[in-house]
Amino acid sequence: MEVIRTVKVKLDVPTERCDDLHQTKNQFLHCANTTAEWAWRHPTDYCVTSKQKAENALYERLRNETELTANLVQKGIRRAIEATKSGVARLKKGDNTSQPHFDAWSVVYDKRSATFHRDHVSLSTVNGRVECDYVIPDDAEGTPIGEYLLNEDYEFRMSTLQYDRQTESFYLHARMRRVESDEQSTTTSDVHQTSSDAAHQNALRSEDAKHRTVLGVDLNVDGSLAVTSTGAFIGNADEMNHRRREFEKTRGSMQQTGTRSAHLSIQSMKDREHRWMQDELHRASNQILEEARDHDCTHIAFENLTDIRKRMAGAKRFHAWAFRRLYQYTEYKAEMFGIEVEQVSPAYTSQRCSSCGFTHENNRRSKHQFVCQKCEYELNADYNASKNIARKLLKKLHSGQKSSGGGAPCQCALPSGTLNLNGDFHAYSVTESEGESTDKPTTSVVGY
């Protein structure tokens, strides 16, 4: 099981090197804003949301325009593409938005642009590396710094450098990861523990290792094939339907011919169609998994696929097959990253308001438009359903916790933060610094 924690630690930056970090930030934001301007093409054309396309088009230019290392240029490009994706998701929901713009103080570092140590960090800048000591409290035990930053069981992941203008201080938001194998929970040393020691360790595991974040996924027979609670609209069900209709039409015409040649042609077409469908489903499953990993999700929630043809209007046999295959692809790929994939009851997920909880069939104004009759909350109906699907798994996970203190946090992944069952919203440290055009839901987005 993978455990992710974010620790905020103040940096002791040499006075003569502060300007290097400020210049690095300026050039990093230049990369992000240049990319956003290039990628945002609404309303005259489709926006570019492919990181690879953006890097192919802009990488060399931005390397020449800045003094940044290759990795920081790439990170600036990718930040803008992520914001563009959020903007596109808002457009698809019918919300007003505009080209992303970045002006908040923030730079993203990973192990290629920074060297992380337990007491200091080495950061890449426009003027070489700068060594910064961590400002660690005298008694760090029991604090996030002591529990995670100084803990050798945790490794450093992608982190964010930010600057507090009021105190003129630099802070590193360090993301720490621990991978715990199943065997760790049953080590031989446990045999010699007293019952109280074992209970204490189990309580710690419950509080730490079961920190759960859920990505909800809603599946559709038209429009987007899948919509996630993070606002990603994945795949094209309409294109799948069109390809299927064309195949059925051609097959019907050729069957009337009745020749052996026609039969062989039909079989060849069927194989080609099957391969195309599988490729589409693999791409969709990869995107779902990418959303889950980008948002540090421990679980992915799908609606139960049993009898889906009876429940979902317009669903045909090939839709049921495609949904099952998409679930299977996502499940086996997620297993490699320690992410669990589960199914939940779809009952009322399309009728319930994810903001206030009011449930009524009239909330669904049209196939893809949801307007709550009680609180008037309006959004894309599939996006609303995905958040309700995530909430169902959250409730299941929360009810399964045995801790008297309420258990570890269970939360739903949203475009720019997480929301728990109590309605408490926590913004991601990276997207907090995004421009106002990114999707920033408040606690009214998911409800409880």
Amino acid at 322: A
Predicted confidence at residue 437, as pLDDT, reads: 28
Q: Are 216 and 389 in contact (CB under 8 A)?
A: yes
Predicted confidence at residue 209, as pLDDT, reads: 45
Rounded to whole angstroms, the Cα distance separating 266 from 262 reads 6
Predicted confidence at residue 181, as pLDDT, reads: 55
Predicted confidence at residue 196, as pLDDT, reads: 43
Structure tokens, 117: 């140590």
Predicted confidence at residue 261, as pLDDT, reads: 76
Q: Which residues of 21-56 are buried (b: 16+ CB within 10 A; e: fewer)?
A: bebbbebbbbbbbbbbebbbeeeeeebbbebeebbe
- Cβ neighbour number for residue 227 with a 10 Å cutoff: 30
The pairs formed by 369-372 with CB atoms below 8 angstroms and a separation of 24 or more are 369/94
Q: Which residues of 425-441 are buried (b: 16+ CB within 10 A; e: fewer)?
A: beebbbbbbbbebbbbb
- Cα distances (Å, whole numbers) of residue 251 to 31, 245, 248, 258, 264: 51, 10, 5, 11, 11
Residue 199 CB partners (closer than 8 Å, separation 6+): none
What H or E segment, with its residue span, contains residue 366?
strand 364-366
Written as tens digits, the pLDDT of the chain (448 aa) is 667 788 889 999 999 999 999 999 999 999 999 999 999 998 888 999 999 999 999 999 999 999 999 999 999 999 999 889 888 988 888 888 889 998 889 999 998 899 999 999 999 999 999 999 999 988 888 888 998 899 998 999 889 999 988 889 999 999 888 876 545 544 433 434 444 444 444 443 444 445 789 999 999 888 889 999 998 999 888 888 888 888 777 777 777 777 777 777 777 777 777 788 888 898 899 999 999 988 889 999 999 877 776 667 666 777 888 888 899 889 988 887 889 999 998 889 999 999 889 999 999 888 889 999 999 989 999 999 999 999 999 998 887 655 444 556 788 988 877 888 887 777 765 433 333 222 333 333 333 2
- Cα distances (Å, whole numbers) of residue 102 to 67, 83, 168, 366: 19, 10, 20, 36
Rounded to whole angstroms, the Cα distance separating 427 from 113 reads 24
Rounded to whole angstroms, the Cα distance separating 191 from 194 reads 8
Q: Which residue in 212, 213, 206 sits closest to 402, CA to CA?
A: 206
Its pTM stands at 0.51
